[in-house]
Amino acid sequence: MLSEGTPHAAAAAAFRCRRFTLPLGGPALVVGVVNVTPDSFSDGGRSLDPGAACERAHAMAAEGAALVEVGGESSRPGARPVPADEESRRILPVVRRLVRELHIPVGVDTWKAPVAEAILDEGADLLNDITALAHGPALAVAAGRAGAGLVLMHMQGTPGTMQRAPTYGDVVVEVRGALGTAAARAEAAGVAPESIAVDPGLGFGKTARHNLELLRRLEEVCALGRPVMVGASRKAFLGAVLEAPVEDRLEGTLAAGAAAILKGASLVRVHDVRPMVRVARVLAAIARGAP
Ligand code: HH2
């Protein structure tokens, strides 16, 4: 529930990511995830070769992804950081090609400023920082200079330790507060307000109950007035609900994505683009009352 006095900022009309201005308010934008890693929790090793990663990104664009996001470091629970030069070596050739070949924004999942600067030099349109600027403003300064979009994600702890004993008073209030503060920091570092999105970080220092509570009350996060991204795709809390392994969580992913969209999320981050795009289109048609 929103308490009295909670700022109820107007919803953003567009999300600006460098070469692209993505309209909000129509069907939710589906973000396709391409992990160029050996160890990501659901698709590790699948696109380690740059050619395979680009092929996968092209397929996602053809399936209706509004953005693709390339990752070179897994943040699964227990993961250790990858050195910046190794992360850059994995993603730079992929980003270089995709920026030239795709007609949608190309984002990168990194929290390291040197990696961010290198991929912005290659023309990337969006940075996704799972630490929400916990390492200082350098990444936001780089995003601001380039006019790139910036997603700020909430995490309690670090991937190495975050799932040991996540603790909150009220998880939704704390996550919303932290995201509001991070967004203000990004603006102070030079990122345009219309280029900032926030993400509650499902699974990042959160129990299954915390994740479900965040989805149940997502409108309170949306009340920040920033575009909200949600990434539930194939995550362990869906496995806990469905008693299903990672390769059998598609319906859970779609249900969580649909719930997030109905609560006001503008961007849904998934590995299975085509079914999520179709869900988003039908939800938008219901909202319009017309096919
Ligand atoms: N989830 C993952 C990674 N990055 N970024 C945002 N903004 N939101 C998320 O929910 C999110 C994220 C974890 O998923 P994935 O990238 O598939 O796995 P891994 O970190 O193992 O590469």
3-state secondary structure of 31: strand
Instruction: For 144-182, give the secondary structure using H, E and C.
Output: HHHCCEEEEECCCCCCCCCCCCCCCCCHHHHHHHHHHHH
pLDDT above 60: residue 1:
no
For range 115-144, the mean pLDDT: 98
With a pLDDT cut of 70, the percent of the chain lying above it is: 97
Is residue 269 among the annotated active site residues?
A: yes
Exactly one of 112, 176, 234, 235 is catalytic; which is it? 235
Q: CA 133, 61, 193: angle at the middle one, nearest 5?
A: 30
Alpha carbons 105 and 20: distance in angstroms, whole number: 7
Q: What are the distances in angstroms from CA 175 to CA 142, 233, 267? A: 25, 19, 18
The confidence band for 9, taking pLDDT boundaries of 50, 70 and 90, is low
**Start-to-end C-alpha separation, the chain:** 32
List, for residues 146-198, the tens digit of each pLDDT value: 999 999 999 999 998 898 889 999 999 999 999 999 999 999 999 999 999 99
pLDDT at 42 > cutoff 60: yes
Residue 7's pLDDT is what?
45
Ligand 1 within 6 A of 253 CB?
A: no
Query: According to the model, what pLDDT value does residue 164 have?
Result: 87
Confidence of residue 44 (pLDDT cuts 50, 70, 90): confident
Q: What pLDDT does residue 240 have?
A: 97
- Among 41, 211, 247, residue to substitute to test ligand 1 (most atoms within 8 Å of Cβ): 41
Q: How far apart are CA 193 and CA 175, in angstroms?
A: 19
Ligand 1 pocket member 171 (CB < 6 A) = no
**Over 90: is that where the pLDDT of 45 sits?**
no
Total-model pTM: 0.95
pLDDT-based confidence at residue 12 (cuts at 50, 70, 90):
confident
Of 101 and 164, the one with more pLDDT: 101
Ligand 1 pocket, 269 CB below 6 A? yes
Q: Nearest-5° angle of CA 47, CA 52, CA 53?
A: 60
Q: Assess whether pLDDT exceeds 50 at residue 6.
A: no
Q: Which of 3-17, 24-38, 64-78 has the lowest mean pLDDT?
A: 3-17
Exposed/middle/buried for 169, CB within 10 Å: 0-12, 13-18, 19+? exposed
- 206 among known catalytic residues: no
pLDDT at residue 8 is higher than 80: no
Calculate the average pLDDT of the chain.
95
Average the pLDDT over each of 115-124, 139-148, 157-166, 246-255 and give the range with the smallest value.
157-166
Q: Which of 1-10, 208-217, 272-281 bottoms out in mean pLDDT, i.e. has the lowest? A: 1-10
Average pLDDT of the residues in 36-52? 90
Q: Is 128 in the pocket of ligand 1 (CB under 6 A)?
A: yes
pLDDT on residue 48 = 86
